Amino acid sequence: MKAELLDAETEMRLAYAWRDERDVQALHRLINAYMRLAISMAARFKRYGAPMNDLIQEAGLGLMKAADKFDPDRGVRFSTYAVWWIKASIQDYVMRNWSMVRTGSTSSQKSLFFNMRRVQAQLEREAASRGEKLDRHQLHQKISSEIGVPLRDVEMMEGRLSGSDFSLNAVQSADEDGREWIDALEDDRAQAAELVENSHDTRCLRQWLVTAMQALNERERYIVQERKLLDQARTLESLGTELGLSKERVRQLEAAAFQKMRKSLEGQSREVQNFLA
């Protein structure tokens, strides 16, 4: 409350000094003069459960961003411009800390987060005064129309605002032997039967590949290994340079090798077909 009150002329002079000369003292004086505004706006968001000290810090960050981006040539007072930056900074902080799950980031989601409950209460009061009772779907449609956001965003935000976060280690009942919520989660790891099947299939595929590769000569086998069995396949050009062949010749040898491997696999066709079935 002891901070000075700046008149328009002094405010403009400080703003010009910071923008044109990067005068840090002018910036500090401008920010200190309007910290009362930042604190006042931070107090409006106490109902969201965030610590007041944190809200004031976020408001101060918004105030500093406003001071850094303020253009005194536009002819508006700094307080008028700063209000929007302070509010945006506080709102972003509240939404980030409302839940471990991100509450929203778009403008429509932000508008819903801070206005949905107020608009819902107003619509319910108006309906009650007319002797009507809105069901959940009707209420969501009216909220969507009133705030000007998609209906799906209203339904999503309703779920996010319906309750706070709970620990997965919380017990499901008051009993001493009550299991924790985490015990009710489905285990998405592969089960024993699936692991055995995958191991068997991998072993069969590896054996078929080894058998098919035995039908190739040394050069063909090397080309197939370099082209198909490496994490980063070699190019036809690099193989041609190494083997002293043209790129087209390497391609022909590769195609011939695949044809030999195909015939080898056809010799095992019954087993392969049973595997695929």
Query: pLDDT-derived band of residue 134, with 50, 70 and 90 as boundaries?
Result: confident
Lowest mean pLDDT among 52-56, 172-176, 184-188, 255-259: 172-176
Distance CA 113, CA 147 (A): 11
* Whether the predicted pLDDT of 33 surpasses 60: yes
pLDDT confidence of residue 69: 93
Greater confidence (161 vs 51) lies with 51
Which pLDDT band holds residue 162 (cuts at 50, 70, 90)? Answer: low
Say whether pLDDT at 155 is over 90: no
Q: What is the pLDDT of residues 204-213, one digit of tens each?
A: 888 888 888 8
Q: Which has the higher per-residue pLDDT, 170 or 145?
A: 145
- CA distance linking residue 277 with residue 275, whole number of Å: 5
Summarised one tens digit per residue, pLDDT across range 56-111 is 999 999 999 999 999 999 989 999 999 999 999 998 888 887 765 555 567 777 77
User: Which carries the bigger pLDDT value, residue 198 or residue 103?
Assistant: 198
pLDDT at 105: 60
Question: Given this model, what pLDDT does residue 109 score?
Answer: 75
* Of 81-85, 155-159, 186-190, minimum mean pLDDT range: 186-190
Q: Are 127 and 134 in contact (CB under 8 A)?
A: yes
User: Greater confidence, 264 or 256?
Assistant: 256
Lowest-pLDDT range, 61-70, 171-180, 216-225?
171-180
Task: Examine the pLDDT at 275 and tell me if it is beyond 60.
Answer: no
Residue 1 · residue 36 · CB < 8 Å: yes
Residue 277 clears pLDDT 60, i.e. is over it: no
Query: Taking all residues of the chain, what is their mean pLDDT, rounded to a whole number?
Result: 83
The answer on pLDDT for 272 being more than 60 is no
**Contact assessment for residue 90 and residue 62, using Cβ atoms and an 8 Å cutoff:** yes
Give the model's pLDDT for residue 30.
92
How many degrees, rounded to 5, is the angle at CA 232 between CA 227 and CA 235? 45
| DSSP, res 179 | P
CA distances from 158 to 94, 98, 107, 137, 245 (A): 17, 14, 16, 11, 67
Q: pLDDT above 70 covers what percent of the chain?
A: 83
